[in-house]
A and B are shown apart, each in its own frame.
Chain A
Amino acid sequence: MNPRTLGRIAWAVFRDSVRDRVLYNLVGFALLVIGASFLIGQLTAGQDVKIIKDLGLAAMAVFGLFIAIFIGIGLVSKEVERRSIYSLIAKPVRRSELVVGKYLGLVLTIAINVAVMTAVWYAVLGYMSWTESEAFRQSWEAPATDPRMLVAVYLIVVQLMLVMAIALFFSTFSSPMLSAVFAFGLYVAGHFSADLKNFDLAVGDSPVRYVTTALYYVLPNMAIFDVKNAVVHAQPVPAGYVATTTLYGLCYIVSLVAAAVWIFSRRDFK
């Protein structure tokens, strides 16, 4: 694969998403966090900084999830629907480069989105910290702008990269609507994978346990990317955990993007 070709395709995807007003979500995020910081002070009995931390991380995950799924499902299927795929595959670009380039473009879109959201979030937290008394700040579990919270932001990005790969994979052979349902379904199911592992406690030695155990290992475990609560309470997240979780996510991403390339390369657009 030619890195320059990948870069051009990725940049085109990013430009498209800007043209599609995807970055408008940043305005929504800023309004949500800034508005909440002013409104919730009277409701939370001194927990406003904790709640803005929780709210900011959750909003990044939700906004990112919607972008990842709704743009991810259109990466390939939109080109097919618009019939612009014919002009694309006629160009001296490999189909694999097209799929991987589009995926990287969406990663770039999400990364820039999350980076801006993080900057806004830290600015609001910094302002809240600045307006509090030193004595009150001393009672917090961690500083308002604790840099360790970036670990949670990083794992949100890795999780979103995985969701994008899932959406891309489904978009290579399914309609956008079904791709969205499948991607969202896998995202939800991925949070319940621990239940699949514990299924044998309910079914005993039944053959069903082998199926559920297999599903546990095959389905991506989305819950492990969630360290939001730990960082908000300044609980340590070991570097080894972050590294193995990242590798786990990358393994799935490589598999899903490779599968997407394989399916897309064999599709007949005649």
Chain B
Amino acid sequence: MATALVVAGLAGAVSLQVARERWYPAVASPVDEVYFTSGDGVGRVALSFKSVLADVYWIRAIQYFAATRLKGAPASRSDLLYPLLDIATTLDPAFNIAYRFGAIFLAEGRDRGLSHPELAITLLDKGFANNPRKWHYLYDKAFVYYWTYRDARTAAHWFAEAGKVPGSAEWLPGLAAYMLAQGGDRRSSRFLFQQILQTAEHEYMRTTAQWRLGQLDVLDLIDQVNPVLDRYGYTTGSRATEWEPLIAGGWIRGVPVDPDGLPLIIDPSTGRAAVDPTSTFFPLPDEPPPAVRPAPRPGA
């Protein structure tokens, strides 16, 4: 009798739950909430359980990022990501991935992130202040200046600062000098993304680096193909709009394709090669400008 009542009660509750959700669908909350905005305040009530609470805030940050950006929610709904990351890193000041991963979330453009590089730099500054032996935060900061702000000179400065941290990578001073001399050339970008690909702790960072390297490959390919298109136009007196005439005329051996195998297109308005808008590599990034070389000193 008792068992039957237990089973009947549970079955009734589950059925009502299912029915209620169908009859009265939940109204989505217009905004998510961070009930506590002060990491210090949360830390005080956490007693000796700050690490676990930091983990909870980290998981919330990931879910929030996924829910807002990856699902294409409006930008206004991304305002809470920084407070979540700030609280997580205040509760656990050595939470390495929250600084590095969080900086990527914040700094990347609207296609993959929140386009708040200034908050990414604030987070990385906080990380380095809390962990002065972690040169990676200065490296990441330099990267934000290089890739997001297109400011190779400031990036070079922070690469050099990262190189001064004891135990940092040996190639940092060389990279700083090279970047100062060459500015934002593609070889610098390729080197940076290769470093991330080889050293990043997390799959997402490695995947992003791999994707960026693919974009650089497409840019290289476009740079190879465009002079051929120019010569073809000059020789034939008409712009190419398809690859077939160029292949038939022996100008190129085959249709140029991006790393996924999707053919490049020829922009009919400019006659230049471009990545297909349906390609995973679209849109291609703007590249940082080359360094402005100072005029040679007299007698030098």
Question: What residues of chain A have their CB less than 8 Å away from a CB belonging to chain B?
Answer: 40, 43-47, 50-51, 54-55, 57-58, 61-62, 139, 141, 188, 191-192, 222-223, 225-226, 228-229, 232-233, 235
Q: What is the CA–CA distance of A232 and B48 in the complex, to the nearest angstrom?
A: 14
A229 x B62 contact (CB < 8 A): no
B55 x A45 contact (CB < 8 A): no
Known: A45-B202, A46-B202, A51-B55. A191 touches B62 (CB 8 A): no
Q: What is the CA–CA distance of A222 and B94 in the complex, to the nearest angstrom?
A: 22
- List B48-62 residues whose CB lies under 8 Å from chain A: 48-52, 54-55, 58-59, 62
Question: What residues of chain B have their CB less than 8 Å away from a CB belonging to chain A?
Answer: 44, 47-52, 54-55, 58-59, 62-63, 92, 94, 96-97, 101, 201-204
Known: A45-B97, A46-B202. A222 touches B48 (CB 8 A): yes
Question: Within 8 Å CB of B44, what residues of A?
Answer: 192
- CB closest chain-A residue, reference B44: A192
- Other than the known A43-B62, A45-B101, what 20 A-B pairs have Cβ atoms closer than 8 Å? A40-B59, A43-B59, A44-B59, A46-B201, A46-B202, A46-B203, A47-B55, A47-B97, A54-B52, A58-B49, A61-B49, A139-B201, A139-B202, A191-B48, A225-B48, A226-B48, A229-B51, A229-B92, A229-B94, A232-B51
Question: Within 8 Å CB of B202, what residues of A?
Answer: 45-46, 139
Chain B interface mostly: helix
- CB closest chain-A residue, reference B49: A58
- CB closest chain-B residue, reference A59: B52
The residue from A45, A57, A62, A223 contacting B204, defined by CB atoms under 8 A apart: A45
Question: Within 8 Å CB of A45, what residues of B?
Answer: 58, 62, 97, 101, 202, 204
B51 x A58 contact (CB < 8 A): yes
Q: What would 19 A/B residue contacts be, using CB atoms closer than 8 Å?
A: A43-B59, A43-B62, A43-B63, A45-B58, A45-B62, A45-B97, A45-B101, A47-B58, A54-B52, A58-B52, A61-B48, A191-B47, A192-B44, A222-B47, A223-B48, A228-B48, A229-B50, A229-B92, A232-B51
